[in-house]
Amino acid sequence: MKVYVPRDAAARALGADEVAAAVLREAKARGLDVTLVRNGSRGMVWLEPLVEVETGGKRTGFGPVTAADVAGVLDGTSKKALGPVEELPFFKGQTRLTFARVGLIDPLSLAEYQAHGGLEGLRKALGLTGEAVVKEVTDSGLRGRGGAGFPTGIKWETVRKAPGPQKYVVCNADEGDSGTFADRMLMEGDPFCLIEGMAISGIAVEASKGYIYIRSEYPDAIEVMSAACDIARKEGVLGASVLGSGKAFDMEVRVGAGAYVCGEETSLLNSLEGKRGIVRAKPPLPALQGLFGKPTVVNNVISIASVPVVMAKGAAFYKDFGLGRSRGTIPLQIAGNVKYGGLYETAFGLTLGEIVEKIGGGTHSGRPVKAVQVGGPLGAYLPVAQFDTPFGYEEFDAKGALIGHAGLVVFDDSADMRKMARFAMEFCAIESCGKCTPCRIGAVRGVETIDRIGRGDVVAIPLLTDLCETMKDGSLCALGGFTPFPVMSALRHFPEDFTANAKEAAE
Amino acid sequence: MTAAPGTDDAIARRTDEIISGLIGLEGPLLLIFHALQAEYGHVPAAALPRIAERLNISRAEVHGVMSFYHDFRSHPAAAHVVKLCRAEACQSLGADQLAERAQEKLGTGFHGTSADGKVTLEAVYCLGLCACGPAAMVDGKVVGRVDEARLDQILKEVRA
Ligand SMILES: Cc1cc2nc3c(=O)[nH]c(=O)nc-3n(C[C@H](O)[C@H](O)[C@H](O)COP(=O)(O)O)c2cc1C
Ligand code: SF4
Ligand code: FES
């Protein structure tokens, strides 16, 4: 029998390694012939470690499994049996395009990757002109999943048309937003998908070299991605002649060093060059003058990893999913104080309320939901009153919010929104690259001002509003420019949290 | 004669070897810092002049890059490093209270070392474990759903 125990960091954080050791131990004790596969996560984090046992070609899930449960899992007597994982409502409701193989296959088996549709997109791309590949990506409607939502195909076209013998493809795997883990899960669960996407991009824009910049907080992703690159090179997916096409593309994993701002694309490029991660002014666009001044594609992990399925199944197939100008699927990351937390890939268009209440099952604590921060530390806090907002770029923008990298952090009614606003400013102060005064100094003033308000000095509230305006207008990048989103949304939707002490003082 | 390990001479020589292994790569400076820190637990001051010379950049630049990044230490950490996630998703599940408890128990603030010299406490902003927070990393190993009891156990283990 085959036993799957995820090697995904979340599963490991919940004891998967101990479970895997117990599987080997118990199998030996029983004289069972067990093949242990360390797969990616199926994304149902509340069920991790989620173990699957495969016999006669059928997989049955168990979870959450502890080492003590393993004997029962192998004997088929465990009360933690879940049935086939694909039939669980959380899984069944999804449309898994980008994450189709994550959790299903052995992440480092190129054979299994291909048996499940892997490399189809790259093979197709190799038979087309660069122009045709880029057109397919443009037609799919795919927009950047890193936060800004810029059309991926249009970016690629700029790089493709840029002259120069040396161009680069850079994958942004800095994933620093709280509440997000899609990049991590994909890299740990299906690394060849990202490699395939990188290769397609390189071939389309005629860049022979790629880099993946992974944050240092992700040791598991670094390990799996590095191993996958070595395998891909050995098997001829990467190298001087990609799949025997005569076209060259190779790539390297690079590791960040704990700076949130290095997720900003120009800061990331500086960091890759071995410099301080200071944000560069745009123009010039990285597409024209990027890494070492050369034309460079910079894309998020999920943007790049969505390209293989776009190429394999066609732009029309992908574009068919979604809402308005948000096409395709989005891996929602449901996090924080939530009952059913995890990754849920679905077409754009579900409402925030459906995601939090129906899919996420409300809070982990069982208390009422107070707010949901969408899009990381630069994203707005949305109150329950905005739960009818459909999940899409424009739809969130219209509410003074953003979807960012599609992370949702749920808070229950014990959350103090003034404290959350203070944290947003504090985080900005800690992580500011220091280039612009409104961000570097403004964020420190922001913390002080919110502390004043906390002491009951409500006169400081308009000062906070002014400060946010200054940061919005005077910041070079979204760290300083968007920190006002969480701050002002907290103030706008939860004013009582800012004036609580003032009332007491007046009494 | 080779210098004793740990002396400035020995560090400079080892730095040279590390640089020689990486200098062929594009933009090698962060790779060099990571390699030094993996070997020494920090980036020794004696390495910096060698880096400046071999990469043909100023010492101020080398220092500037190193100090920009939260990861690189100029001094060794304790034998054990406990990193607690302080970002929003973990806050929604009580990370602040855990942070206070850890500081109290260890008798140190963040980025400090416990009075017994055994544990360095650090803050981290998201480990990608936001659906199973509060999260921590203990000597490089990830831990999810850290509650008070789990924290106490972690601290007990690293101080044993
Ligand atoms: C402070 C800051 C942090 C960012 N962090 C990330 C990140 O971790 N990952 C990411 O893909 N994009 C991040 N971005 C957005 C990038 O600048 C850029 O828009 C993105 O990598 C482009 O790729 P995409 O078009 O595929 O989204 C960040 C932006 C800012 C301002
Ligand atoms: S807004 Fe902040 S992080 Fe962005 S460039 Fe300015 S100082 Fe740097
Ligand atoms: S916010 Fe703590 S792990 Fe992501």
Residue-wise pLDDT for B145-154, tens only, equals: 999 999 999 9
Of B49, B50, B132, which Cα lies nearest the Cα of B90? B132
Instruction: Give the dihedral of Cα atoms A95, A96, A97, A101; nearest 10 deg.
Output: -160
Place of tokens 């679905």: A346
| pTM: predicted TM-score of the whole model, two decimal places | 0.97
pLDDT at A484: 98
| pLDDT at residue B2 is higher than 90 | no
Q: Which residues contact A281 (CB under 8 A, 6 or more apart)?
A: A476
Identify whether A101 is part of a domain: no
Distance of CA A285 to the CA centre of its chain: 24
Identify whether A231 is part of a domain: yes
Stretch B39-45: mean pLDDT: 95
Do A196 and A278 belong together in one domain? yes
Residues of A whose CB is below 8 A from B129: 9-10, 13, 181
Do A306 and A346 belong together in one domain? no
Atom 5 in ligand 1: which residue has the minimum CA distance?
A263
Identify whether A202 is part of a domain: yes
pLDDT at B113: 96
A232-238, long-range: CB within 8 Å, 24+ apart, which pairs? A232/A110, A232/A192, A232/A195, A235/A110, A237/A110, A237/A119, A237/A122, A237/A192, A237/A195, A237/A196, A237/A199, A238/A195, A238/A199
Give CA–CA dist A290/A292, Å, rounded: 6
Do A38 and A176 belong together in one domain? no
pLDDT at A464: 98
Do A314 and A325 belong together in one domain? no
pLDDT band at A92 (very low <50, low <70, confident <90, very high): very high
Atom 13 in ligand 1: which residue has the minimum CA distance?
A263
Number of domains in chain A: 4
CATH number of the domain that residue A80 is part of: 3.40.30.10
Question: Nearest-CA distance from B4 to chain A in Å?
Answer: 30
**Helix and strand numbers, DSSP H then E, in chain A:** 23, 16
Identify whether A259 is part of a domain: yes
Which residue among A12, A174, A178, A420 is best mutated to probe the pocket of ligand 3, counting the most ligand atoms within 8 A of its Cβ?
A178
Do A403 and A310 belong together in one domain? no
Q: What is the mean pLDDT of chain A?
A: 97
Main-chain phi, psi angles of A334, to 5 degrees:
-100, 115
Site from A178, A180, A214, A378 to mutate, B interface, most B CB atoms within 10 angstroms? A178
Identify whether A500 is part of a domain: yes
Q: Given A296, A318, A340, which residue is the final one in a domain?
A: A318
| Ligand 2 atom nearest A471 alpha carbon | 1
ipTM associated with this complex:
0.96
Do A283 and A398 belong together in one domain? no
Do A164 and A249 belong together in one domain? yes
Do A348 and A205 belong together in one domain? no
| pLDDT at residue A220 is higher than 80 | yes
| pLDDT at residue B74 is higher than 70 | yes
B130 and A CB contact within 8 Å: yes
Do A330 and A408 belong together in one domain? yes
CATH number of the domain that residue A232 is part of: 3.40.50.11540
Do A333 and A471 belong together in one domain? no
CATH number of the domain that residue A360 is part of: 3.10.20.600
Identify whether A102 is part of a domain: no
CATH number of the domain that residue A435 is part of: 1.20.1440.230
Do A257 and A330 belong together in one domain? no
Give the DSSP per-residue string, chain B. -PPPTTSHHHHHHHHHHHHHHHTTSSS-HHHHHHHHHHHHSS--GGGHHHHHHHHT--HHHHHHHHHHSTT--SS---SEEEEEE-SHHHHTTTHHHHHHHHHHHHT--TTEE-TTS-EEEEEES--S-TTS-S-EEETTEEE-S--HHHHHHHHHHHH-
Residue numbers of the domain that contains A446: 417-506
Q: Which two tokens stand for residue A308?
A: 């293989």
Q: Given A366, A391, A412, which residue is the final one in a domain?
A: A412
Cβ(A385)–Cβ(A372) below 8 Å: no
Query: How far from A169 is each of A73, A88, A102, A197, A211, CA to CA, in Å?
Result: 45, 38, 23, 10, 6
**Ligand 2 interacting residues, C-beta cut-off 6 A:** A 261, 279, 432-436, 439-440, 475-477, 479-481
Identify whether A424 is part of a domain: yes
Give CA–CA dist A319/A323, Å, rounded: 10
| pLDDT at residue A156 is higher than 90 | yes
Identify whether A168 is part of a domain: yes
Q: Given A355, A389, A412, which residue is the final one in a domain?
A: A412
Do A224 and A343 belong together in one domain? no
Indicate the angle between helix axes A152-161 and A130-139, nearest 10 degrees: 160
